[in-house]
Amino acid sequence: MIPRVTVILAVVCVGTAPALAQGSPPADTELRKQRFLADILDPNGAQSRTVERARQRCAGGLTPTNDRASRAGGVYFLPDSSDTCVATLTRTAREGKLDLLYRAGLRELTGKEDGYDHLPAAIGAAARKNEPLVPLGEGRGMALKPALAFDAGFTVGWRQGFGGTPPAIADELSTPFVKSPEVPK
């Protein structure tokens, strides 16, 4: 026969993990979010390849879904998807790599890279017209997603001279990486 104390303790322990996962986030959540974003922005932080993959997820609209799943699993320290994507775009822009996504996308869809530098503006034009496809020529088109339009808008804005971390991100972060000098283009 098992003593009652052992049975009660087992029931409490079995029910504790799910209860903790659904409880409130740890007290250091905001600090961890700031560190996460600072790591993205810091050229000595996250590896460029990791940032490139994060950008692909952002532009593809996958980041919010991934973040929801992570939070459901108890990972509270992830910043909002929009903050993560803006930090990722800022880092990519500072490294002079904004065009890589469009170059690769155009090559994948058409087999060519010609005109990749016009693709962000074409995406913006299609978004303003509420078109479901971005025309690529020769009867081809690319599906227009809101996340891709956001990426394209950031890219066009950066090219037109916007050169700093957006105020919403800069205000949230108090790390020296955000205020570091820009990487030469």
pLDDT attached to residue 106: 92
In a domain, 14, yes or no: no
pLDDT attached to residue 160: 87
In a domain, 184, yes or no: no
Q: What is the mean pLDDT of the chain?
A: 79
In a domain, 33, yes or no: yes
What is the domain count for the chain?
Answer: 1
pLDDT attached to residue 183: 43
CB 143 within 8 A of CB 133: yes
In this model, does residue 4 exceed pLDDT 70? no
What's the CA gap between 169 and 178, in Å, rounded? Answer: 9
- Tens of pLDDT, residue by residue over 59-102, are 999 999 998 998 889 887 788 889 999 999 999 999 999 999 99
Domain that holds residue 147: 26-172
- Tens of pLDDT, residue by residue over 151-169, are 999 999 999 887 655 554 4
In a domain, 147, yes or no: yes
In a domain, 64, yes or no: yes
In a domain, 9, yes or no: no
Can you name the residues that pair with 133 across neighbouring β-strands?
143
The lowest-confidence range among 7-11, 58-62, 63-67, 171-175 is 7-11
Q: What is the mean pLDDT of residues 102-125?
A: 92
In a domain, 7, yes or no: no
Name all contacts of 34-37 with Cβ < 8 Å and 24+ positions apart: 34/172, 34/173, 34/174, 34/175, 35/175, 36/77, 36/78, 36/79, 36/84, 37/79, 37/83, 37/84, 37/87, 37/169, 37/172, 37/173
